[in-house]
Chains A and B, each alone.
Chain A
């Protein structure tokens, strides 16, 4: 399970990065489906979160991912001019142009963030994006900077679901 992630702090040998991917439903998610139906093998480090459109992606999703221990993030949607919702990807592009610099400013290595356009027909491109992101982040090692700042009782050690359920009940 998640024990592949080294939480002790030091970059151990055999480090396998955890990468969260935020993708749009119509292009990249479908492109990733195509990679599956085409049986294109790729690194298994990426977990996809499906959204309707890249325009839906709040930069806080990315901040949250890093805070929760992701070593890298991928954002991918429809190519410019191909957005299922006409212009959501343009809004995303502008947002990330600004956000990218902000992350760099606060000390997150921009190589941990991959922004890409993958269409529904680009299964092979999705594999390349995944493999490249994994290779980049693997080379960078685990993302420690943020977690070092998080207090020990920040809740990261408990199953997230358990916490939510505990509050709800």
Chain B
């Protein structure tokens, strides 16, 4: 038999003005299961709470209903009071007779009647409340950071500096990401390598950071605090423990004309290579696709066609027979920082995109993209920082910069703004003018979007001080005409056609998520948007969390981001991970779904509707160990307590604690109670 205490609050005059609190008390006094009723001026005040506590102790109450304000206001307060009085706090509920009653009605009779109904409904619910305990989940205090660009490095460093181990996985041979390819960064024009490489080295040498380059995440199991991550270490063919980074293998390699990914195709590399001189770690990888020896092996030659690098290596670090290896790491939290790629706008396009064949990219060598210009302008680039056009190595005297190539174009490209292009175009125009004083920089733009600290000033500087010509309009065609690159455009302000004989054209192509991010998202059970960017849990209030607890997102894999944004996000994920790691156990409200294995028929409808991947299939075995069926299991660490599973359960075997069928049907029944 329930012994429920009902406490009716006047909330000063807030409730008492329209609701006859004494009448409510009177109406509830003889309600079945109610052992104690009291009304008081301010129930949430200290004397009010004392009244509740004393009543619990004196009357041996099994449940408490506080008819007062919204549970969003004071549920915690009264649950704490119950807890202090020795009553399980989940036996306490609020009946909202203020926001949902006294404040919205004028007629005292109607309001009182409704307040009685509301209170009685909650009393009926509380009769079916169960004492619950908070869920405690152990936390493995080791983080996984996926992606070793500036965002990943920053997140890894923040977490590692906080005293926790970090596993940093990078799919390329070196960490550094796109930032390592940049020449100078806006809006300060400081050298990208100068600010980035110390961070790379710091991450590499940090005692708490375990770095896996040339590696990818293969499989992710588990849930917040308790992930098991399988990492594929791709065959490097170079023993990382033996190699001392001398570079003799690269000298010896006969395949020297392979387009360098790091130089965006403007320079060459060998088949065994370190992507760039400041690479971290400074250990080469062997590109088996382009290696003479492996080409020979693929053809089925009896004898290896090459072997020069192995001969040259004094440390005997090169192993042609190395294979992919797998390692497993126990992880408590995951930061996804897989970054972006540029929209390669040639005629050949992946599904859904049309490309911009009319701009001649990939056909006219002097039509390049923003990243290629970065390499041209970089002191460590293929031209040692001199602006020379790719076709003939001449210094271009007229350079056209085209904004929004692919971005903000839902017809052919992608609908979103890539955010960084206005700024880097201004920077490119500036860098060019700083190096070619008599040159002409012309930019075609749609709008200038320079919202950031010092950004607008910077783009104005490009125009006002460095004399870049900005034309508002679009370019319709770019083609080679003898020695020049013809640019046909239209100035929408003067409404005139513009034809420019350029020497070189730089296209500000859109930022897109990295290839493979959808597959990765699948492994992590996080969602992506229509473009493949990873979805944050809430666009305003939870910008670095994902809808999977324990998985966070930083940098340009979430949306186009510039460096300060990416770093800020990364540090935010660092703070999130550190707060997660600040306790040995994760405490969660027990408002989670529980499966009754005795009645579950294993249809797994629940798992299909679960937005969090919290439900898995479990085998049930006979006494002698034979699998005799399957049932659903809800992982309490992952379940967020929405209850969608319960509504689709065919055998009524899953119950959301705190909102069980019994509780809700009791509420429904109580509402339709009449004499």
Query: With a CB–CB cut-off of 8 A, which chain B residues contact A44?
Result: 101, 104-105, 107, 110-111, 113-114
Q: Which residue of A lies closest to B649 (CB)?
A: A58
- Which of A3-11, A102-110, A111-119 contacts its partner? A3-11
A1 adjacent to B113 (CB under 8 Å): yes
A20 and B99 in contact (CB under 8 A), knowing A44-B110, A52-B643?
no
- For A1, A53, A64, A95, the residue with the greatest tally of chain B CB atoms inside 10 Å of its CB is A1
Out of A1, A59, A68, A159, name the residue touching B32 (CB < 8 Å). A159
- For B106, B591, B641, B664, the residue with the greatest tally of chain A CB atoms inside 10 Å of its CB is B664
Q: How far is the CA of A150 from the CA of B121 in the complex (A)?
A: 22
Q: How far is the CA of A64 from the CA of B641 in the complex (A)?
A: 23
Q: Which residue of B lies closest to A57 (CB)?
A: B647
Query: With a CB–CB cut-off of 8 A, which chain A residues contact B31?
Result: 159, 161
- Which of B216-224, B319-327, B624-632, B665-673 contacts its partner? B665-673
Number of interface residues of B (CB under 8 A): 60
CB distance from B119 to the nearest CB of A (A): 11
Q: How far is the CA of A157 from the CA of B673 in the complex (A)?
A: 7
Query: With a CB–CB cut-off of 8 A, which chain A residues contact B474?
Result: none
A49 adjacent to B32 (CB under 8 Å): no
Q: How far is the CA of A25 from the CA of B27 in the complex (A)?
A: 28
A88 adjacent to B642 (CB under 8 Å): yes
A20 adjacent to B674 (CB under 8 Å): no
B72 adjacent to A56 (CB under 8 Å): no
CB distance from A145 to the nearest CB of B (A): 15
A121 contacts the other chain (CB 8 A): no
A55 adjacent to B644 (CB under 8 Å): yes
B124 adjacent to A161 (CB under 8 Å): yes
Out of A2, A55, A65, name the residue touching B673 (CB < 8 Å). A2
CB within 8 Å: A-B pair count: 175
A69 adjacent to B672 (CB under 8 Å): yes
Out of A35, A70, A91, name the residue touching B672 (CB < 8 Å). A70
B92 contacts the other chain (CB 8 A): no
A36 contacts the other chain (CB 8 A): yes
A32 contacts the other chain (CB 8 A): yes
B611 adjacent to A85 (CB under 8 Å): yes
Query: With a CB–CB cut-off of 8 A, which chain B residues contact A57?
Result: 647
Interface residues of B (CB under 8 A from A): 1-2, 27, 31-33, 70-72, 96, 98-101, 103-107, 110-111, 113-114, 116-118, 120-121, 123-124, 127, 527, 547, 591, 609, 611-612, 640-644, 646-648, 656, 659, 661, 664-675
Interface residues of A (CB under 8 A from B): 1-5, 7, 18, 20, 29-30, 32-33, 35-37, 39-42, 44, 47-53, 55-59, 61, 64-65, 68-70, 84-88, 91-92, 95, 127, 156-157, 159-162, 164-165, 168-169
